[in-house]
Chain A
C-alpha cells in the first residue's frame, strides 16, 4: 500500500512536470524599442512566440507621467497598446507583465522616443513666469529684510525716533508677502506644478521641508518682529535686535554660500554679511528722511551712524571676500560663469556704493557738521545710495538661478562597486543622470584579477516606477572593459542593476545592486 501511494504520487508529479509548457518570449516590438520617432505612434505592438494574456500594461509618457488611458487589446500572440492622442514629446516607456500559457508571468519594458529623447528637452521647470515670480519675490524679500528690518533697527538704536520710518514700513509691507510668495513659488518649482496648485497643501509642505523654505519662514518672523518693534513699548529695542538676528539667520540657513564647506566659517560669514547689509542699507532711507527736515539732533544721529557704518562696511567687505573666494575658486570665474558675472556686476555696484559712502563719510558729513546747507547734497547722495542698493538686490536675486562655480563640476559618472565572494564588478555610469547613459563594466574575480567572460548582460529595472527589467548585451571593448552604450534611463530613482557574466558555457556569475539616478 505504501509503495502504491508513493508510486501514485510520483506519477502525479511526473504528469505535472512533463507537460510541454513554455514561458512566452517577446519576439518583436513595433515601433522598435529604443527608436526615435517623428510623431507619436498610434499603437505599440508587442509580439510574443505564443498566445499571451495581458496582465499589467503601464505607459509612462515623455513627461514622466503614468498614463491610465492606454487601451490594451490582445489577439493571440500580439498585444496592442493604443497610445493616447496627446502623447507628449520625449521618451515613453511601455512596461508589460503578461501571462504565458503555462501561467508564468513574463515581464519586460520597451521604450521609444517621440520627437527628441527626454534629456535633450529643456527641463520642465523652465517656466518663465515662475522664474520671474521667484526673482521678484526675492527682491521684495531683500527689501523687507535690509530696508525694512534694518530701517527699524536704525530707528530704534541710532536715531531713537520713529521719524523717517515710512520707507522701512513700506519695505516690510512688501517683504512679508514676498516671503510667503517665495515659499509658495519654491514649492511650485520643486514639484513642477501650475500656480493653481497653491490652493493645495502640497507645494507648501514640500517648500517648508527644505532649508530654503525654513529660511523664508525665519525671514518672515524677523519682519514680524520688526513690525512689533515699531510699536513703542519697553521691549521695542530688544525686538529690533531679535529681528536683526533673524535677518542674519535667514541668510545663513540656506543658499549656495551658506552651505558651502567649511560650513562653520561660511555660515558665520553669511550671518555677518547679512547683518551688516541691514545695518548699512537699512539706515539710508531714514537718514534721507531725517536730512530733509534737519533738527539739532540730526547731526548727532548722522555722526552715530558714521561711527557704526564704517566698521559695518569693513565687516561686509571682509565677509564678502571670504564668500566670493570660496564660491568662485578662481578669479577667472568672475567673467567665465554666469554666477561670476553677477558677482562682477554686484562688485561694480558695491564699489560705487562705497565711493558714495566714503564721500558721505569723509566729505559730506563733515560739511554738514559745519554748514547745515550741505544737507541737500548729502541727502541726494544718500538717495543715490538707495537706488544703487536696490540695483544690488535686483542683481543678487539672480543668484537664485545660477549655481556657483564651486558646485559646477565636470559631469561625474556614477560609480558602483558590487562585490561577492566570487567576483567584484566595478560599474561606471556616465553621465550618470536621466537620459542616455553609457555603462562601463569592469569584471574582476574575488581576488581582484581580471575575470574573463564570454558574454555579459546588463539588466535594469525601476520597481518604484513599475519599469520591468530591460536587458542589454554588453560588448567587450579593446580596453578590456565591457561596454553598454546609450542606455536609456528615462527616470530618476533607485534603479536595480544586475550584471550577468557568462564565465564558461556552464557557469554564470551574476551580481546585483541598486543605484540612485539623480533627477536632471
Chain B
C-alpha cells in the first residue's frame, strides 16, 4: 500500500466515529476541482423526524447544484460572494449561498443523504478544513450542526454538534 492510501486509511478511520452527527460522506477533497458533497443524516432531533435540511455554502465554493430528491422541494438562496471567481472563463461574483431541502419527512429510524455538486475554487487554503454549517429542522426541535472549532483549539475538545467538514488537499 502506498503512503498516500495509508494516509487516507488513517484519515478515514479517524473520521469514522463522528457517525452520529450530520456529516459529509467524503472527508477529503482537492481544491480547484469539483466536489460531490453528500450530507449524511443519521437520525432526527432527539427522536423527532427530520422535515428540513438547510446547508450554508461557505465562501470559495461555487457552481452549487443540488441533486433533486423525491418527496423534497429544493430552495436556493442566492447572494453576492465576497470575492470574484473564475469559472470556465466566466467571472462569478454571485451564486448560491444556501441550499434547503424541505417538504419531506425523514423518520428518526431511517437514514438518508442529501447531495449537491460543488466546485472548490483554488482560492481556498489547502490543508485546512472547509465547513458546511447545517441546520436540521425536525417536527419538534432543531439540531444545528454549526460548530466550527476555533483555530488552535485542538481536536480533544470536540463540540457537541460540529459542522460537517471536508479536508482540503492541495492540487496534485
Residues of A that sit less than 8 Å from B by CB? 2, 5-6, 9-10, 12-14, 16-23, 25, 27, 49-50, 100, 102-104, 502, 505-508, 510
Contacts A27-B47, A508-B146 given; does A22 touch B108 at CB 8 Å: yes
Q: How far is the CB of A1 from chain B (nearest CB, A)?
A: 9
Residues on B with C-beta less than 8 A from A6 are 2, 4-5, 8
Interface string of B1-35 (1 = CB under 8 A from A): 11011001100110111111001010100000000
Residues of B within 8 A of A510 (CB): 147
Contacts of A12 in B (CB 8 A): 9, 12-13
Q: Which of B18, B25, B144 contacts A14 (CB 8 A)?
A: B25
- If the complex has contacts A9-B5, A507-B146, are A21 and B42 also in contact, measured as CB distance less than 8 A? yes
A-B pairs with beta carbons under 8 Å apart, 21 shown? A5-B2, A12-B9, A12-B12, A13-B12, A13-B15, A14-B25, A16-B13, A17-B15, A17-B23, A17-B25, A19-B19, A20-B109, A22-B43, A25-B46, A27-B47, A505-B54, A505-B135, A505-B146, A506-B135, A507-B146, A510-B147
Return chain A residues, CB-CB under 8 Å to B12: 9-10, 12-13, 16-17
The CA of A236 and the CA of B9, in the complex, are separated in Å by 87
Closest 7 CB pairs of A and B: A13-B12, A22-B43, A25-B46, A16-B16, A49-B47, A20-B111, A506-B133
- Which residues of A are found within 8 Å of B19, using beta-carbon distances? 16-19, 21, 102
Which of A5, A17, A506 interacts with B16 by CB under 8 Å?
A: A17
**In the docked arrangement, what's the CA distance between A104 and B18, Å?**
9
Give Cα A445 to B158, complex, Å.
24
Q: B110 within 8 Å of A by Cβ?
A: yes
B40 interfacial contact with A, CB 8 Å: yes
What is the size, in residues, of chain B's interface with A at 8 Å between Cβ atoms? 33
B56 sits at the interface (CB 8 A): yes
Q: Are B42 and A22 in contact (CB under 8 A)?
A: yes
Most buried by B among A10, A19, A20, A25: A20
Q: B4 to A13, Cβ gap below 8 A? A: no
For the complex, what is the distance from the CA of A256 to the CA of B71, rounded to whole Å? 75
CB distance from B93 to the nearest CB of A (A): 21
Contacts of B144 in A (CB 8 A): 502, 505-506, 508
Alpha-carbon separation in the docked complex, A13 to B20 (Å) = 14
Write the nearest CB–CB distance from B77 to chain A, whole angstroms. Answer: 11
Instruction: Tell me the complex Cα distance, A17–B42, Å.
Output: 10
A442 to chain B, nearest CB (A): 22
Q: Judge whether B147 and A508 touch: CB under 8 Å.
A: yes
How far, in Å, is B1 (CB) from chain A's closest CB? Answer: 5
- Shortest CB distance B166–A (Å): 13
A508 to B142, CA, bound (A): 14
Chain A residues near B1: list those with CB within 8 A. 2, 5
**Minimum CB distance partner of A102 in chain B:** B20
**Given A17-B25, A27-B47, A506-B135, A22 contacting B20 (CB threshold 8 A):** yes
Kindly report which residue of chain B lies nearest to residue A101, judged by CB atoms.
Answer: B20
Closest B-chain residue to A471, C-beta based?
A: B160
CB-based contact A20/B56 at 8 Å: no
Measured in the bound complex, the distance between the Cα atoms of B46 and A229 in whole Å is 79
Contacts of B146 in A (CB 8 A): 505-508
Note all chain B residues with C-beta closer than 8 A to A21: 19-20, 42-43
- Contact check, A13 vs B40: say whether CB atoms are below 8 A apart: no
Asked whether, in the complex, the Cβ of A2 is within 8 Å of the Cβ of B40, the reply is no
| Bound: A60/B56 CA distance, A | 44
Out of A19, A20, A25, name the residue touching B47 (CB < 8 Å).
A25
- B56 to chain A minimum Cβ distance, whole angstroms, is 4
- For residue B25, which residues in chain A have a CB less than 8 angstroms away from its CB? 14, 17-18
Min CB distance A106 to B, Å, is 10
B2 contacts A2, CB within 8 Å?
Answer: yes
Contact yes or no, B5 A49, CB < 8 A: no
Q: Hey, which chain B residues are within 8 Å of A104, CB to CB?
A: 20
CA distance A216 to B125 in the complex (A): 68
Inter-chain contacts of A100 with B (CB < 8 A):
20
A496 to chain B, nearest CB (A): 12
State how many angstroms separate the Cβ of B92 from the closest Cβ of chain A. Answer: 21
Distance A12 CA – B141 CA, assembled complex (angstroms): 33
A10-B12, A21-B42, A25-B46 in contact; A506/B56 too (CB < 8 A)?
A: yes
Q: B9, A9: Cβ atoms under 8 Å?
A: yes
For the complex formed, measure the closest distance between the CB of A15 and the CB atoms of chain B, giving whole angstroms: 9
Determine the chain B residues whose CB is within 8 A of the CB of A20 once the complex forms. Answer: 42-43, 109-111
Residues of B within 8 A of A102 (CB): 19-20
Instruction: Give Cα A130 to B80, complex, Å.
Output: 74
Report Cα–Cα, A400/B126, bound state, in Å. 68
- Alpha-carbon distance A209/B1, docked complex (angstroms): 65
Would B111 and A13 count as touching, CB distance under 8 A? Answer: no
Kindly list chain A residues whose C-beta atoms are within 8 Å of the C-beta of B23: 17
Whether the Cβ atoms of A18 and B40 lie closer than 8 Å is yes
Give CA–CA (A506, B25) in the complex, Å: 20
Please name all residues of chain B whose beta carbon is closer than 8 Å to the beta carbon of A22 when the two chains form the complex: 20, 42-43, 108
Residues of chain A within 8 A (CB-CB) of B15 are: 13, 17
B residues less than 8 Å from A18 (CB atoms): 19, 25, 40, 42, 111
C-alpha spacing A460/B43, complex, angstroms: 27
Tell me the B106-135 residues at the A interface (CB within 8 Å). 108-111, 133, 135
Whole-angstrom CA separation of A25 from B17 in the bound complex:
18
| Given A14-B25, A505-B135, A508-B147: 16 more A-B contacts, CB < 8 Å | A5-B1, A6-B2, A9-B8, A9-B9, A12-B12, A13-B27, A16-B12, A16-B16, A18-B25, A19-B19, A22-B43, A22-B108, A102-B19, A505-B56, A505-B146, A507-B146
